[in-house]
Structure 1
Amino acid sequence: MSSLAPLKPMKRFLDNVLESAVIFAVALLVIDVLWGVFTRFIMGSPSRWTEEIARLLLIWVALLGAAVAFGRREHLGFDYLAEQLDPAVKKMMALITQSIVIAFALVVMVYGGSILVSETLAANQVTPALGLKMGYAYLALPLSGLFIVIYGVEQFLGICSTDAKSIEQPQDSGSDPPPRS
């Protein structure tokens, strides 16, 4: 039994929550944009709030979507050089990479994002059309950073408990360009 087996239900739960949140936000984004197009071009009187909601939803979709992609190991990766390395070096590089990602997510996203949220809430910055506090929009940054840290620690522990010869690289999206003729 893997030493990470107790983490699997937690990861599955986190995956489901994040994926559901992103799907819900994308659905709201589509409805909002369609409403904006309808009111502008069909009704002739554009809705003032649709563009603002779309902007706020896009922030959340992008940042939470990045956490989902990282958790699935489907994020952008260049693994050609890593595949050429000796398995022990490859494992060490994977651990270093995960450490850098975790440190970045902690410092820039969680810590920096938390400062951004608290400063904008303290300054009472609001959106022009809806009057929503901007700190709530920026809350996506530290939250997605926290999720990336959780996924990063889980992946780091997975690398530590894996034989060097079976280290996984980020998954190939399967979207290689067609061969030139």
Structure 2
Amino acid sequence: MAAGGAAALAALVIYTVFMRWVVGQTPNWAEELPRLVLIWTALLGSITCTHRRSHLNAGLLPLIVRSADVRRTIGKVTDFVLLVMLLMLAKAGWDLTLVTMSMTTTALKMPVGFIYLSVPVGCVGMALMQLQHLLSSGDTP
């Protein structure tokens, strides 16, 4: 999904640059549509990163804490805190989506709330992945 969004974003930007510099006519959606694709791609891609635990981290815990049991406990606490924070962010994103659904974007004439909808969708997806990590019996990195 994220790769498709990145490819679509690249195609949109290439098309926009071509239209602007070769044809001399910039599409009216040149600013809004790539931004929309970027936001949705980033938040949907973050679900996969959360599932794979591939978000950037410092990796210092194994250097500081030698005990595997303590590291596992810290990992579970971290998973729980992240789950709570993602649910809070999803709620805030949903509230913002509802407030902005009656507004429309300038060029695309679509509800602004559709852009903000990416926040609760992405956060709920990441929260489900965090819940899976929290409930799994395997080691947490």
Instruction: Tell me the TM-score normalized by structure 2.
Output: 0.92
* Aligned match of 2:43: 63
Alignment length, in residue pairs? 140
1:70 Cα deviation after fit? 1.1
Query: What is the RMSD computed on CA atoms of the aligned residues?
Result: 1.3
One-letter code aligned to 1:150: L
Whether the 8 Å contact between 2:83 and 2:131 is mirrored in structure 1 is: yes
In structure 1, C-alpha distance between the alignment counterparts of 2:134 and 2:110, rounded to whole Å: 38
Distance change >3 Å, CA 128–CA 63, structure 1 → 2: same
SS of match in other structure, 1:79: coil
* Aligned match of 2:70: 89
In structure 1, C-alpha distance between the alignment counterparts of 2:69 and 2:8, rounded to whole Å: 46
* Aligned match of 2:107: 129
1:83 Cα deviation after fit? 4.2
Are residues 1:100 and 2:78 paired? no
1:79 Cα deviation after fit? 2.1
In structure 1, C-alpha distance between the alignment counterparts of 2:19 and 2:71, rounded to whole Å: 55
Alignment gaps of 5+ in structure 1? 1-19, 170-181
Whether the 8 Å contact between 1:35 and 1:50 is mirrored in structure 2 is: no
In structure 1, C-alpha distance between the alignment counterparts of 2:69 and 2:3, rounded to whole Å: 39
In structure 2, C-alpha distance between the alignment counterparts of 1:82 and 1:126, rounded to whole Å: 49
Alignment gaps of 5+ in structure 2? none
In structure 1, C-alpha distance between the alignment counterparts of 2:3 and 2:72, rounded to whole Å: 34
Runs of 4+ in 1 over 3 A off after TM superposition: none
Are residues 1:80 and 2:56 paired? no
Percentage of matched positions with identical amino acids: 28
Whether the 8 Å contact between 1:113 and 1:139 is mirrored in structure 2 is: yes
Whether the 8 Å contact between 2:72 and 2:140 is mirrored in structure 1 is: no
1:23 Cα deviation after fit? 2.6
Deviations 1:78-119 (A, max 9, x none): 2223443212211110011000110010011x1111101111
* Aligned match of 1:37: 17
In structure 2, C-alpha distance between the alignment counterparts of 1:134 and 1:98, rounded to whole Å: 32
One-letter code aligned to 1:101: L
Whether the 8 Å contact between 1:102 and 1:152 is mirrored in structure 2 is: yes
In structure 2, C-alpha distance between the alignment counterparts of 1:140 and 1:83, rounded to whole Å: 36
Instruction: Tell me the TM-score normalized by structure 1.
Output: 0.73
In structure 2, C-alpha distance between the alignment counterparts of 1:46 and 1:84, rounded to whole Å: 54
One-letter code aligned to 2:32: E
